Chain A
Amino acid sequence: MAEIAEIFGRFGFTIHEGPEVEDDLTNFQMLNIPLDHPARDLWDTLYVDVPNHLLRTHTSPLQIRVMQAHEPPIRALLPGRVFRYEAVDASHASEFFQVEGLMVDEGTTMGDLRGLLDEFSRAMFGRDKRTRFRPGYYPFTEPSVAFDVECLVCGGSGCPACSRTGWMTILGAGMVHPVVLQYGGLDPERFQGFAFGMGVERISNLRHGVADLRLYLENDLHFLEQFR
Chain B
Amino acid sequence: MRVPLNWLGDYVDVELTPEQLAERLTILGMEVKGIEAWGADWRSVVVGELLTVEKHPRADRLSLTTVRVGDGQVLEIVCGATNIAPGQRVPVALPGAVLPGGRRIERAEKMGVVSNGMLCSGDELNLTSDADGILILPPGTPLGMELTALYGDTVLDVDVKPNRGDALSLVGLAREVSTATGAPVRFPEMRLAEAGSATAERVSIRVDEPELCRRFVARWLSNVHVGPSPDTVQVRLQAAGMRPISNVVDASNYVMLELGKPTHTFDAAGVEGHELIVRRARAGERLETLDHVQRDLTADDLVVADPSRALAIAGIMGGAASEVSERTAEVIVESAIFDPVFVRRTGQRYALRSEASLRFEKGQELRLARIGADRVAGLIADWAGATVAPGRADSAPSEPEPRRLAFRPARINRLLGTSLGVDEQRSILERAGIATTPASEPVAITIAGEPKPLSVPSPATDAILATVPSWRADIEIESDMAEEVARIRGYEEIPPILPDTEMPRYLPSPLAARVLVRETLVGAGVTEVVTPALVSPRMVETFAPAERLVEPLAGDDPATGRPIRAKNALSADHAILRQELIGSLLEVVGLNQAQGRDDIAIFEVGKGYGFDETAGVVHEWWRLGLALTGASRTAAWNRPAQAWALDDAKGLVELIATRLGFLAPTWSALSDSAVFHPGRSAAGASAGALRASVGELHPALRDSLDLRAERVIIATVAVRGLAGGSPPAVKVRPIPRFPAVERDLAVVVNRSRTAGEVERSIRAARGALLDDVRLFDIYRGQPLSADEQSLAYRLTFQAEDRTLTDSEIDAALAAITTALATDVGGRIRT
Interface, chain A (partner B; CB < 8 A): 2, 5, 11-12, 14-17, 19-21, 29, 32, 34, 36, 38-39, 41-42, 46-51, 53, 55, 70, 72-76, 81, 83, 85-88, 94-95, 97, 103, 105-112, 114-116, 118-119, 132-137, 139, 142-146, 163-165, 175, 177-179, 182-183, 188-189, 192, 216-222, 224-225, 228
Say whether, besides A94-B534, A116-B498, A85 and B510 are in contact (CB < 8 Å): no
- Give the residues in chain A near B567, CB-CB below 8 Å: 46-49
> Smallest CB-CB separation from A175: which chain B residue?
B415
**Docked CA distance A108–B28 (Å):** 23
- Give the residues in chain A near B499, CB-CB below 8 Å: 11-12, 75, 103, 108, 112, 115-116
Nearest-Cβ distance from residue A145 to partner chain B, whole angstroms:
7
Nearest-Cβ distance from residue A73 to partner chain B, whole angstroms:
5
B494 & A114 in contact (Cβ 8 Å cutoff): yes
- Give the residues in chain B near A137, CB-CB below 8 Å: 29, 161-164
Q: Which of B162, B501, B595 contacts A220 (CB 8 A)?
A: B595
- Give the residues in chain B near A163, CB-CB below 8 Å: 33-34
B479 & A175 in contact (Cβ 8 Å cutoff): yes
B486 CB-CB contact with A under 8 Å: yes
B502 CB-CB contact with A under 8 Å: yes
* Interface size range of chain B in the complex: 35 or more
- Give the residues in chain A near B506, CB-CB below 8 Å: 14
**Docked CA distance A111–B496 (Å):** 5
Say whether, besides A81-B533, A134-B29, A135-B28, A110 and B566 are in contact (CB < 8 Å): no
- Give the residues in chain A near B137, CB-CB below 8 Å: none
Say whether, besides A50-B564, A179-B449, A14 and B620 are in contact (CB < 8 Å): no
> Smallest CB-CB separation from A29: which chain B residue?
B451
A106 & B496 in contact (Cβ 8 Å cutoff): no
Say whether, besides A114-B496, A143-B483, A221-B592, A179 and B531 are in contact (CB < 8 Å): no
B491 & A145 in contact (Cβ 8 Å cutoff): yes
- Give the residues in chain B near A42, CB-CB below 8 Å: 162
B469 CB-CB contact with A under 8 Å: no
Which of B733-756 touch A at CB < 8 Å? Answer: none
Q: Which of B486, B504, B527, B600 contacts A74 (CB 8 A)?
A: B504
Interface, chain B (partner A; CB < 8 A): 22, 26-29, 31-35, 161-164, 340-341, 344-345, 361-362, 414-418, 447-452, 454, 456, 477, 479-480, 482-483, 486-487, 491-492, 494-499, 501-504, 506-511, 515, 522, 527-534, 564-570, 574, 577, 588, 591-592, 595, 597, 600, 602, 607, 609, 611, 616, 618, 620, 724
Say whether, besides A38-B344, A81-B533, A134-B26, A182 and B162 are in contact (CB < 8 Å): no
> Smallest CB-CB separation from A108: which chain B residue?
B501
**Docked CA distance A43–B413 (Å):** 32
A32 & B451 in contact (Cβ 8 Å cutoff): yes
A188 & B448 in contact (Cβ 8 Å cutoff): yes
**Docked CA distance A72–B483 (Å):** 24
- Give the residues in chain B near A142, CB-CB below 8 Å: 477, 479-480, 482-483
- 27 pairs, CB–CB < 8 Å, chain A vs chain B: A11-B499, A12-B504, A48-B577, A55-B577, A75-B499, A81-B533, A81-B607, A83-B534, A95-B533, A97-B530, A105-B501, A105-B502, A109-B497, A111-B495, A112-B498, A115-B498, A134-B31, A135-B486, A142-B482, A143-B479, A145-B491, A177-B479, A182-B448, A182-B452, A192-B415, A219-B531, A221-B602
- Give the residues in chain B near A165, CB-CB below 8 Å: 22, 26, 32-33
A85 & B534 in contact (Cβ 8 Å cutoff): no
- Give the residues in chain A near B454, CB-CB below 8 Å: 178, 182, 188
B498 & A73 in contact (Cβ 8 Å cutoff): no
**Docked CA distance A41–B607 (Å):** 28
B618 & A19 in contact (Cβ 8 Å cutoff): yes
A36 & B344 in contact (Cβ 8 Å cutoff): yes
A220 & B35 in contact (Cβ 8 Å cutoff): no
- Give the residues in chain A near B161, CB-CB below 8 Å: 136-137
What 10 pairs across the A-B complex have the smallest Cβ distances? A111-B417, A109-B417, A135-B29, A143-B483, A137-B161, A115-B496, A178-B448, A142-B479, A114-B496, A36-B341
- Give the residues in chain A near B162, CB-CB below 8 Å: 38-39, 41-42, 137
Interface centre among A5, A70, A83 (most CB of B within 10 A): A83
Say whether, besides A75-B503, A145-B491, A220 and B592 are in contact (CB < 8 Å): yes
**Docked CA distance A19–B491 (Å):** 34
- Give the residues in chain A near B509, CB-CB below 8 Å: 5, 14-15
- Give the residues in chain A near B532, CB-CB below 8 Å: 94-95, 217
- Give the residues in chain A near B449, CB-CB below 8 Å: 179
Told that A111-B494, A142-B482 touch, could you supply 7 new A-B pairs with CB distance under 8 A? A14-B508, A36-B345, A108-B501, A145-B491, A163-B33, A177-B448, A228-B527
